[in-house]
Structure 1
Amino acid sequence: MIKRLPIIEMSDTLSNQIAAGEIIHRPSSILKEIIENSIDAYADSIDIYLEHGGKNRIIVKDNGYGIEKNELYLAIKKHSTNKIYKIEDLETISSMGFRGEALASINTIADIIIITRTQSDENSWKFDVKNNILKATHGFIGTTIEIKNIFHNIPARRKFLKSDNNELRNCLDIFEKIVLSFNDISFSLYHNKNLLYKYKKNIKEQRIKEILGGEFIQYSINIDHKSEFLNISGKIINPSFLDSIISKQYIYINNRFIKNRIISQAIQNAYKDVIYSKNKPSYIIFIEINSKYLDINVHPSKQEVHFYDSNHVYNIVKTCIETFLNKLNNIKNNKILYSNIKNDCNQFIPLLSQEETYNDKNHHLKNINIEKSIQNNLLEDNVSKYNLGTAIAQIHGIYILSQNQTGIILVDIHAAHERIIYEKMKIDFDNKKITQQNLLIPIIVNIPNKFLLVLEEHIQYINSIGFDIRIIGYNKLSILSIPSIIQNQDINKLMIEILSELYKLDNSYSFKEKIYKILANIACHNSLRANRKLNIEEMNNILRQMELTNKANQCNHGRPTWLYFSLKDIDKLFFRGK
């Protein structure tokens, strides 16, 4: 028989150690809490010293306003703070810390020594918390906190710590996230007495460059949005250079690094039709919002927030990112035609998808189709007029070869035409100008059972873009009308693909986003396919439409529509001028 155990009240030691586990997971957790305290003390210089990845010792020195002598004993008690005084203060939190748990939690799992001095003190005060000794000492204005013997009294927790290098990486990750946001503070970090990082006060752009690198600055664009509800600033990656750097994603709310699904999804969806769906765009986003519109008191780590109007935040962030991406992707407005590949001769050869792989071993000579009627002087007259230049050939029935004043351009015909159609359909939908063609004989489509609920939920979306669909049975539908743009397409296959796409979408997508998903599918089916022969006039027409089309640098699926090779790059391949 199993013996029932009685309910008892936990000892203070046990309950404190359990509570500490919510805040202090490893040395990096301690480092985060102590640095945040230094920031809240208005320090403009913070020095950090780590030993063995922070497992043996962590020292944080700052030049903030210090701690009063008579408050030192109180500072290590649970829920003691100078950040908030009444419950209403939780609605207007502006400090990094506020829960009053950090030092108390650290004290339950490590030894703490505090050396501090305020402007009114004649000397510093050293408080050995473990031995409960407080005495006068020498020191500068500010606070130094030394933490050692981490998890010494909880062997089970200490054995789960990783190697020195792993714990150091965790500490550096926390350090980097904080340093990025507070460019008006100088930071240094030492490990085992060796200086690893030193950052002087600087403008935000320079601080970002120092940490994320020059390539991130080079391949990103600035964003800036101001409204009564919130302000957004930062940098987002140019989609054309997505593969040039390692994905880096940082979101800050009122200078605090946070993780938030709403904002992350808004950014990802803003990029959704200019990058591959599985790719993650790099960005660093700073959002300023009145504290009364969010709840930071969600988790002890303070890295999660809840917004009182998350839909409004989502829409503002998504619209902001889309606006700046749209400006970037207008080819006609770009004065300088940039190269969206690196200067690497191996990248000169365009990669083919599986569908476009050639079987003919001699295709590199045989399939180049050049219009002989185009004279060199005609090309020279038109080359200077357009960013995408003038077409001179169609290669393998897949690419347009054109030249402008500074080099040559390869255009993926299908990808470019797909974007042109997609953007036109979006404009027509927004202006309610999508035309419809009635079918003489309705098309009956059998749909998988799992798509029936999807169809019932989204039939209004599908019918709003030129279809006239009726459900006529448990897994059957009748199509009476289709959008006029659809020509010679397998309607059965198209409808199944549309329903399949809608089936994958979650509730975070708005009405318009779902419509655009359907339009993207239709555009893909109705764009020019490989091996469709074009004459020079048709090719130039595509180039001119690209220059007038929004987001024409990428197709609807995020693939590049064109690549540029400068004459200087080509000369290098042939060692000209050497």
Structure 2
Amino acid sequence: MPAIHLLSDLLINQIAAGEVVERPASVLKEVLENAVDAGSRAIDVQLEQGGVRRIRVADDGCGIERDELALALERHATSKIANLDDLERVGTMGFRGEALAAIAAVARTTLTSRAEGSAHAWRIDGSDRSVAPAALNAGTVVDVADLYYNTPARRKFLKSEATEYAHCDEMFRRVALARPDIGLQLAHNGRVIHRLPAGDEARRVAALMGDDFLTQARALDADAGPLRLAGFASLPAYSRASRDAQYFFVNGRFVRDKLLTHAVRQAYTDILHGNRHPAYVLFLELDPAGVDVNVHPAKIEVRFREARAIHQFVFHALSRALAESGAGLAARPGTQAGHDDEPARSGEGQASGANASLVAVPANSPERTHAYGTYHDAAPMQGRLAMESVSRSYFDFISGAAAGAPPSPATDTAFRPATFAMGGGSATTIAPGTARPLPADESAPLGYAIGQLHGIYILAQNTKGLVLIDMHAAHERILYEKLKTVLDGTPSVQRLLIPAVFSVSAKDMAAAEDCSEVLAAMGFEVAPAGPQELAVRSVPALLANAPVAELLRKLLEELREFPASEVVTARRNELLATMACHGAVRAHRNLSIPEMNALLRDMEATERADQCNHGRPTWTQLTMAELDRFFMRGQ
């Protein structure tokens, strides 16, 4: 075996470059983050040939002193941390001090900087470390040319110019979204691609994500103790086929974290169709001591000290923002009717729904408390709902008419329908005479029914124009949310005649012991039956027919990483969704005008009423302007 020897500094830096400098976008990320850390108010980026030929980043930050220029290109030299305590509370984008050294080892690099108060600027060559005077008004310019010129084998792994530029553009977008207070510009091959003046968060998001995203997104701003979640999350109607419009920032740092991704995915459960993906720009802020950013060379992964509490906070805050339907939101005081309006900020007294939400609660209340705040779950169940209720008619189960509820103005019997024959033997139900006048305060955003099309769609008139409602899909969502509300209390438990015994791993045994109280609260009675065996003596009644061993193994696996109830809740909700689908009013059933109006009012009062349980839309709006354009009125 060859003798052990020390590696040269150049080879060490080139090895480090393999971790830090994967492609031109990696260089751009490191240099941009240094510019942000320098307190810059304006940053200019110029790329040539996708960044392979050249990456030039100029900022107006604090600059670097002449005597520190050479040190800036050395490994692990930084002004951002000095001891372990600083490392545990990192508040800057960069902190390791290895990026510039790695970049200079694999590219022709020059660094020009003028520190505040200096008579002029200085330039250092990354190859020979020579320093010379230079002309620069303020800040720093990092010029990186001919990436991998001295390591041709690495250069062969780079993709086409278009691909490398796309990665650089994505990196630029991440920094730009994280810091709307900084003006940024990006040019490629001499053509300006992005010119982003400093401004507010909404303006920056619209510039990079598009106005259509902003109009189809919910704004949220929720906090619990030291945690705060803000940003924009798209409505299901704006879902995408890929995850290319998902940006999550932790203390201003773009991250890809499976815990946060799981929380977001759970929040979109039941409202996103098929394999579609949501779009969002979300910012999580917390004490830097609560997150470890030193777990990945590219600093794109993080580790939370209170992972489960953060998962619950993100899930509940996002669920609450998405729970409001467009119709229900418009009905609230202080908002305007419409499908795209911004909701009131979290914490301003909105009514909570079936799912848990963030609200103020007394210190002695029985709600669950986590390290980062108190989460108030759904209201206790007021009474058990017999499962056979699902099959009742609409008025028996939802409107309460069968119980002798007094008719509301919306269900005035003066609006009885007349039925006219249509081609093919189908029928359209139409109210005689003129439609009911709409209230000036727009208290009924979905308006009032004027007819029924082919026994499938309800036609309604509101202040904006015509509303089309899929009555089965809408009723399905109403039933589903009511079933969830009723069953969100103490679960009914089914004891097993013969305990289910199955083998588990050592990790599962430990999880079952650590989370025994959580399992019991969900309706599972679990106890050891051997060194590596568990016995289940009871399960939630709704899951009595589920495969117990498979369900518990999956639940224990999730318990090791995520909050406890996701697996059981998902399985329960699958059953409730099926029940709601079968119990909802069927297509081709003629409804009276009072029944249609009652359905509209319940949609306005139901969370997530914009989509059915499968994520399909339940209603759409055709404005008078759109109708006028179609019929060319005024032209």
Equivalents in 1 of 2:17, 2:522: separation in Å? 56
1:557 counterpart residue number = 614
1:528 counterpart residue number = 584
Equivalents in 2 of 1:109, 1:435: separation in Å? 65
Using the TM superposition, give the Cα deviation of residue 382 of structure 1 relative to its aligned residue in structure 2, in angstroms.
9.4
Maintained 8 Å contact 2:331/2:443 = no
Maintained 8 Å contact 1:462/1:518 = no
Match of 1:401 among 459, 468, 471: 459
1:62 counterpart residue number = 59
2:379 counterpart residue number = none
Equivalents in 1 of 2:539, 2:87: separation in Å? 58
Maintained 8 Å contact 2:435/2:461 = no
Equivalents in 1 of 2:15, 2:139: separation in Å? 31
* Residues 524-545 of structure 1: CA deviation (Å, up to 9, x unaligned): 3342254462430433332232
Matching of residue 542 in structure 1 with residue 539 in structure 2: no
Using the TM superposition, give the Cα deviation of residue 293 of structure 1 relative to its aligned residue in structure 2, in angstroms.
0.2
- Alignment of structure 1 residues 414-429 onto 2, 5 Å: 414-429=472-487
Distance change (3 Å), C-alpha of 1:379 and 1:18: same
- Alignment of structure 1 residues 333-344 onto 2, 5 Å: 333=331, 336-338=336-338
Using the TM superposition, give the Cα deviation of residue 305 of structure 1 relative to its aligned residue in structure 2, in angstroms.
0.6
* Helix, strand or coil at the partner of 1:518: helix
1:192 counterpart residue number = 189
Match of 2:627 among 564, 570, 577: 570
Equivalents in 2 of 1:408, 1:135: separation in Å? 72
Equivalents in 2 of 1:338, 1:408: separation in Å? 12
Matching of residue 411 in structure 1 with residue 409 in structure 2: no
Equivalents in 1 of 2:586, 2:72: separation in Å? 71
* Helix, strand or coil at the partner of 1:65: coil
Distance change (3 Å), C-alpha of 1:397 and 1:31: same
Using the TM superposition, give the Cα deviation of residue 465 of structure 1 relative to its aligned residue in structure 2, in angstroms.
10
With structure 1 as the length reference, what TM-score do the two structures score?
Answer: 0.79
* Helix, strand or coil at the partner of 1:400: strand
* Residues 231-250 of structure 1: CA deviation (Å, up to 9, x unaligned): 11111112344469996111
* Helix, strand or coil at the partner of 2:113: strand
**What is the identity percentage for the equivalent residue pairs of Structure 1 and Structure 2?**
32
2:385 counterpart residue number = none
Maintained 8 Å contact 1:230/1:289 = yes
How many positions carry a matched residue from both structures?
520
| Mean Cα deviation higher: 295-304 or 377-386 | 377-386
Distance change (3 Å), C-alpha of 1:226 and 1:10: same
Equivalents in 2 of 1:463, 1:419: separation in Å? 30
* Helix, strand or coil at the partner of 2:282: strand
Equivalents in 2 of 1:208, 1:252: separation in Å? 13
Distance change (3 Å), C-alpha of 1:419 and 1:39: same
Matching of residue 514 in structure 1 with residue 583 in structure 2: no
Maintained 8 Å contact 1:266/1:318 = yes
2:148 counterpart residue number = 151
Using the TM superposition, give the Cα deviation of residue 139 of structure 1 relative to its aligned residue in structure 2, in angstroms.
2.3
Matching of residue 8 in structure 1 with residue 4 in structure 2: yes
2:211 counterpart residue number = 214
Equivalents in 2 of 1:482, 1:128: separation in Å? 72
Distance change (3 Å), C-alpha of 1:245 and 1:132: closer
Distance change (3 Å), C-alpha of 1:369 and 1:462: farther
Using the TM superposition, give the Cα deviation of residue 503 of structure 1 relative to its aligned residue in structure 2, in angstroms.
9.2
Q: Give the letter aligned to residue 312 of structure 1.
A: A
Match of 1:162 among 150, 159, 164: 159
* Helix, strand or coil at the partner of 1:376: coil
Equivalents in 2 of 1:119, 1:462: separation in Å? 61
1:178 counterpart residue number = 175
Q: Structure 1 stretches of 5 or more lacking a match?
A: 341-361, 439-443, 468-476, 484-490
1:355 counterpart residue number = none
* Residues 126-148 of structure 1: CA deviation (Å, up to 9, x unaligned): 21231332122332222112112
1:375 counterpart residue number = 432
Matching of residue 290 in structure 1 with residue 348 in structure 2: no
* Helix, strand or coil at the partner of 1:165: helix
Equivalents in 2 of 1:28, 1:34: separation in Å? 10
Distance change (3 Å), C-alpha of 1:543 and 1:502: farther
* Helix, strand or coil at the partner of 1:119: coil
Equivalents in 2 of 1:388, 1:248: separation in Å? 31
Equivalents in 1 of 2:475, 2:91: separation in Å? 50
- Alignment of structure 1 residues 444-463 onto 2, 5 Å: none
Match of 1:27 among 21, 24, 28: 24
With structure 2 as the length reference, what TM-score do the two structures score?
Answer: 0.72
Distance change (3 Å), C-alpha of 1:575 and 1:32: same
Maintained 8 Å contact 2:435/2:450 = no
Matching of residue 366 in structure 1 with residue 420 in structure 2: no
Matching of residue 81 in structure 1 with residue 78 in structure 2: yes
Q: Give the letter aligned to residue 544 of structure 1.
A: R
Match of 1:204 among 186, 195, 201: 201
* Helix, strand or coil at the partner of 1:120: coil
Equivalents in 2 of 1:251, 1:283: separation in Å? 8
Using the TM superposition, give the Cα deviation of residue 212 of structure 1 relative to its aligned residue in structure 2, in angstroms.
1.4
* Residues 178-237 of structure 1: CA deviation (Å, up to 9, x unaligned): 011112222222222333222222122212222112112221121101232211111111
Equivalents in 1 of 2:289, 2:216: separation in Å? 36
Q: Structure 2 stretches of 5 or more lacking a match?
A: 341-420, 525-535
Distance change (3 Å), C-alpha of 1:110 and 1:385: closer
* Helix, strand or coil at the partner of 2:93: coil
* Helix, strand or coil at the partner of 2:324: helix
* Residues 393-430 of structure 1: CA deviation (Å, up to 9, x unaligned): 44344333333354333322222122111111122123
Distance change (3 Å), C-alpha of 1:204 and 1:133: same
Q: Give the letter aligned to residue 611 of structure 2.
A: Q
Maintained 8 Å contact 1:331/1:546 = no
Q: What root-mean-square deviation, in Å, do the aligned CA atoms of Structure 1 and Structure 2 show?
A: 4.0
- Alignment of structure 1 residues 296-375 onto 2, 5 Å: 296-329=293-326, 330=328, 333=331, 336-338=336-338, 365-370=424-429, 374-375=431-432
Equivalents in 2 of 1:75, 1:385: separation in Å? 63
Q: Give the letter aligned to residue 338 of structure 2.
A: Y
Using the TM superposition, give the Cα deviation of residue 8 of structure 1 relative to its aligned residue in structure 2, in angstroms.
3.3
